[in-house]
Amino acid sequence: MAEQHKKVPHTPTKSEILELYPDMSKSNLKSIIKTVVLALNPDANLKLSQLTNKEFKYIIIEIGLPKGFKKSDFSFLDGVDID
């Protein structure tokens, strides 16, 4: 199952994020996405579905790696402490 997600871009859509974290409630995940996006860019257009690499990085820092993935699967996490 994780193999199919290996091709997710480093700038995923919100829908792809929801697919990466199927065990997390949709409303909680959307709230985290909104919080991260607005914290990094208060003027962000929340209607845009594509997340930036930096936004995705902070989402992973906040909620952890998706199941079936290793830190090394995400080059932008080099040097980042993930619990």
Give residue-wise pLDDT tens across range 44-58. Answer: 888 877 898 899 999
Give residue-wise pLDDT tens across range 6-55. Answer: 566 688 998 899 999 999 999 999 999 999 999 998 888 888 778 988 99
Q: Find the helix or strand (DSSP H, E) in which 60 lies.
A: helix 53-63
At 78, the pLDDT band (50, 70, 90 cuts) reads confident
Which tokens go with 23?
A: 């065990």
Q: How far apart are CA 65 and CA 73, in angstroms?
A: 10
pTM over the 0.85 mark: no
